[in-house]
Amino acid sequence: MRFNRLKLNGFKSFVDPTDLVIADGLTGVVGPNGCGKSNLLEALRWVMGENRAKAMRGAGMEDVIFAGTSGRGARNFAEVIIQIDNSERLAPSGFNDSDILEIVRRITRDAGSAYKVNGKDVRARDVQMLFADASTGAHSPALVRQGQIAELINAKPKNRRRILEEAAGISGLYQRRHEAELK
């Protein structure tokens, strides 16, 4: 799975619609302190189903919505879209009938989050499972937050094991087992 494009609208500091093309190879994000580099990575994590407000550096999930500045009013919703190249058909069954997968997450004040995959309403769980086996997703070890290296070093063994299991790509199996047990 390859990310092609990331679109943001009203997400944190990205109040105006922003469309970023993610080219082949290595992408660097550079800019002065506070310009929104971490917000971009959080947008990626968020659209893949992150449901812990703390991981978004907020008290509640609505804190991802543009909160306003002295010159501009707050927004009522935030939306992030990720476009994925699925030409190798690596997505789970049910999501595998097109070359491009477009995942949309939108949060509206007082109404919570809604997700779509290629225009169809889906559950948060569906989006999380879509990424669970792809060594990516909201909790992917490939997305290293600021301060996370220090956290790994200082972690209790149980938590460090969880991080290593995610890095080894086996945490998706636990999620599937959990899903199976619930059914």
Query: Encoding tokens for residue 110?
Result: 């007082």
Q: Considering only residues 37 through 96, tell me which ones interact with Mg ion, judged by CB under 5 A.
A: 37-38
**With b meaning 16 or more CB within 10 Å and e meaning fewer, what string describes 130-146?**
bbbbbbbbbbbbebeee
Of the candidate spans 17-25, 34-42, 120-128, 170-178, the one that interacts with ligand ATP by CB under 6 A turns out to be 34-42
Q: Cα–Cα distance between 73 and 142 in angstroms, integer? A: 35
Q: Does 31 bind ligand ATP (CB under 6 A)?
A: yes
Distances, alpha carbon 47 to alpha carbons 40, 51, 83, 117, 153, in Å:
11, 10, 10, 11, 28
Pick the closer one to ligand ATP by CB: 62 or 133. Answer: 62
Within positions 153 to 182, which residues make up the interface with ligand ATP, using CB under 6 A?
A: none
Instruction: Report the 10 Å Cβ neighbour count for 106.
Output: 19
Candidates 62-70, 89-97, 130-138, 159-167; binding stretch for ligand ATP (CB under 6 A): 62-70
Q: In whole angstroms, how close is the CB of 58 to ligand ATP at the nearest point?
A: 7
Q: Residue 33 interacts with ligand ATP (CB under 6 A)?
A: yes
List of residues contacting Mg ion (CB under 5 A):
37-38
